[in-house]
Amino acid sequence: MNDGLTADDDAEMMNSRVPDAAPATTADPKPKLPAIAHKGKAQVSAHTAVTALMPQNLDEAWRMAEAFYAADMVPAGLKGKSDGEKEIKAKLMLAICKGAEVGFAPVTAVGTIMVVNGKACIYGDGATSLVQNSSKVEWIKTEIASKEKSGKWGEGYKVTVSLKRKDQSEPYVRSFSYEDAKRARLTGKQGPWTDYPERQCYWRAVSWAYRDGASDALMGLAVAEEVRDYETEAQRGHKTDTSDLNDAAVLPHPNSDLPAGDANAAT
Confidence at residue 5, expressed as pLDDT on a 0 to 100 scale: 52
Confidence of residue 32 (pLDDT cuts 50, 70, 90): low
Does the pLDDT value for residue 238 go beyond 90?
Answer: no
Identity of the residue numbered 99: G
Task: Enumerate the β-bridge partners of residue 158.
Answer: 145, 177
What distance, in Å, lies between the first and last C-alpha atoms of the chain?
Answer: 105
Give the per-residue pLDDT at 84. Answer: 85
Express each pLDDT in 40-79 by its tens digit: 555 655 556 667 788 888 899 999 999 999 999 999 888 8
Res. 249: pLDDT tops 50: no
Residue 264 has pLDDT above 50, yes or no: no
Q: Which of 6-20, 114-128, 187-201 has the lowest mean pLDDT?
A: 6-20
Residue 119 and residue 144 in contact, taking contact as beta carbons nearer than 8 Å: no
Give the global pTM: 0.66
Residue 63 is predicted with a pLDDT of 94
Share of the chain above pLDDT 70, in %: 66
CA distances in angstroms from 183 to 5, 24, 65, 89, 186, listed in the order given: 103, 78, 40, 38, 8
